[in-house]
Amino acid sequence: MLKVLDSAVPITCWSCSVGHDDSTLFCPYCSKIQPPPGGDYFSVFGLKPKLNLDLHTLEAEFHRLSRRLHPDRFARAAENEKQWSLADTALLNDAYRTLKDPLRRTEYLLKLLGAAPNPSTSSQPGGPEKKIASQVPADLLEEVFELNMQLEEMRAARKTGTKDLELEASLAAAKTKFDALLAAVDKDLRAEWIAWDEGNKAAREAAQKNMAALLDRRRYISNLVRDVNATLGA
């Protein structure tokens, strides 16, 4: 599974036989492509795990690496290099997709540190388990209950073809409110990023706990917003 890169394991280059750090995509000596390195997504971009990333730099690095790694560059290469180009590019793409999105990046880091709120991979015969639904945040219990009632009413009204303007207005108001809650969660998350990136061990552990809770809360609220949008837009 995923592991935090602690000590670099020396690996011998298949082409020039010089030993190198296993987290490189190319041999530092002969520049030949290497099999997928064992590091985390951050190390693909030569980064230490962190949450505040400059997206322009990340994109530029993604493009630079793509130009060198992409299977299009290996169309007429030997079979082993072709396979590594495919595997390395898949890793690069997976890493970029995860790191460029703030939420996925946060989830990934937490998973890397073993503090994930819900494990995204679990073991089940016949298929991976679905993610467990998050708990209703305690401070929102009443409002969520109310909102769910209104959503039910709205769907029922839709079915019979009646138009309840009052209900629609109140749903729209709820949506505005939950959108604002979402924005507040994002603001809190950003504060935790800084705390994690710049803090010591204790500060980091506190930030991890807070982020896990914030992600749970965010997931719950965004599901609600999605339901409201779907019902209003239907």
Partner 1 sequence: MAEERVVGIDLGTTNSLVAFMEGDKPVVIPGVDGSNLVPSIVALDPIPAGGRPTVTVGNTARKALIQTPERVIYSVKRLMGRGLQEIQKELKMFPFRLAKDVQADEIPRIQLGELKFTPPEISAYILRQLKRNAERFFSAPVTQAVITVPAYFNDAQRQATKDAGRMAGLDVLRLVNEPTAAALAYGLDRAKTGTIAVYDLGGGTFDISILKLQDGIFEVQSTNGDTHLGGDDIDNLLMLIALNEIRDEYGVDLRLHPGAVQAVRKAAIEAKIKLSTEQVAYFDIELPNGGRYQREIPRAVFEQLIKPILERTAEPCKQALADAKITPEQIDEVVLVGGSTRIPAVRQRVDDLFHLAARGKKPHTELNPDEVVALGAAVQAGILAGASKTTDEMLLLDVTPLSLGIEALGGTVARIIQRNSTIPASATEFFTTGVDGQANVAIHVVQGERELAADCRSLARFDLKGIPPMSAGLPRIEVKFLIDADGILHVSAREQRSGKAAQIEVKPTYGLTDAQVEGMILDSYDHAEEDFSKILLIEARNEAETILAAVERAPRNPAWQQLTNEERAAIEAARDRLAQLKLGEDAAAIREATLALDEATRHFAELMMDAAVSTALRGKTMNAAGEEMDENVTAPHAMAPAEFE
Return the amino acid letter for 27: C
- Choose which of 9, 16, 18, 90 interacts with partner 1 (CB under 8 A): 90
Q: Please identify which residue in 4, 17, 94, 148 interacts with partner 1, judged by CB under 8 A.
A: 94
| Integer Cα distance of 200 and 115 in angstroms | 17
DSSP per-residue string spanning 98-138: HHHSHHHHHHHHHHHTT--SS-S----TTSPPPPPPPPPPG
126, 165, 200, 201: which one binds partner 1 (CB under 8 A)? 126
How many C-beta atoms surround the C-beta of residue 45 within 10 A?
17
Binders of partner 1 among 68-87, rule CB under 8 A?
Answer: 70-73, 75-76, 86-87
C-beta of 3 vs 201, nearer to partner 1: 3
Determine which residue in the list 23, 89, 150, 231 makes contact with partner 1, applying CB under 8 A.
Answer: 89
Least spacing, CB of residue 71 vs partner 1, in Å: 5
Locate the DSSP E strands across 64-203. Answer: none
Contact segment (CB under 8 A) with partner 1 among 39-47, 89-97, 144-152, 170-178 equals 89-97
Cβ at position 45, least distance to partner 1 in Å: 15
Tell me which residue of 67, 45, 69 sits closest to 56, measured CA to CA.
Answer: 45
Question: What length is written for the chain?
Answer: 234
What's phi and psi for 22, nearest 5 deg? -75, 0
Smallest separation, CB 115 to partner 1 (Å): 19
CB of residue 226 to partner 1, shortest distance in Å: 13
**Looking only at residues 46 through 65 of this chain, which bind partner 1 when binding is defined by CB under 8 A?**
63
Q: Which residues contact 123 (CB under 8 A, 6 or more apart)?
A: 129
Using CB under 8 A as the criterion, which residues of the chain lie in contact with partner 1 when the complex forms?
A: 63, 66-67, 70-73, 75-76, 86-87, 89-91, 93-94, 96-97, 121-130
